[in-house]
Every structure is written in C-alpha cells, then in structure tokens.
C-alpha cells in the first residue's frame, strides 16, 4: 500500500510541473488586420506564456 501512495504522490508532483496544452487555429482572410490581432493572435500569444501552445492556420482549400 505504501508504494501505491508514493507513486501517486510522484504522479501528482509531475502533473504540477507539466504545462497544459493549448491548440489554436486561425482561419486566413487575406492580409492580417487589427481584428485578427485583437481577436486571435494576441490571445494566443497570451496563452503561450502559460501553456504549451500549438498554433496552426486552418485552410480548408489547401487540403
């Protein structure tokens, strides 16, 4: 029983050190503009400070 508790404590400690993940996609609409920056880019950059971030450009026509 003691080994199970020790392992659970180690896993809890690991979960505190691992960053959560954030996945953000931006749909391209011509050149970037202020609305893109305020609505998608700036919040994504803010999330990147706290989370392991993955960013992509969602372009259905490129498939």
**According to DSSP H, which parts of 1-61 are helical?**
2-17, 34-36, 42-50
- Answer whether residue 2 is part of any domain: no
Residue 31 lies in a domain: yes
pTM above 0.75, yes or no: no
Phi and psi (nearest 5°) for 58?
Answer: -85, 105
What whole-number distance in Å separates Cα of residue 20 and Cα of residue 18?
7
User: 58 falls in which pLDDT band (50, 70, 90)?
Assistant: confident
Residue 8 lies in a domain: no
Angle at 30 between CA 24 and CA 31, to 5 degrees: 85
Per the structure, the complete domain to which residue 32 belongs is given by: 19-62
Tally of domains within the chain? 1
Contacts with 7 (C-beta within 8 Å, 6 or more apart), sequence order: none
Q: Which of 37, 39, 40 is closest to 25 using CA atoms?
A: 40
Asked whether residue 40 is assigned to any structural domain, the reply reads yes
Q: Check residue 3 and give its pLDDT.
A: 81
């Amino acid at each position: 029983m003691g080994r199970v508790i020790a392992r659970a404590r180690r896993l809890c400690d690991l979960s505190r050190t691992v960053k959560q993940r954030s996945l953000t996609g931006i749909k391209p609409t011509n050149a970037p503009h202020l609305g893109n920056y305020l609505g998608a880019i700036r919040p994504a950059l803010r999330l990147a400070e706290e989370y392991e971030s993955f960013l992509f450009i969602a372009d259905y026509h490129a498939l």
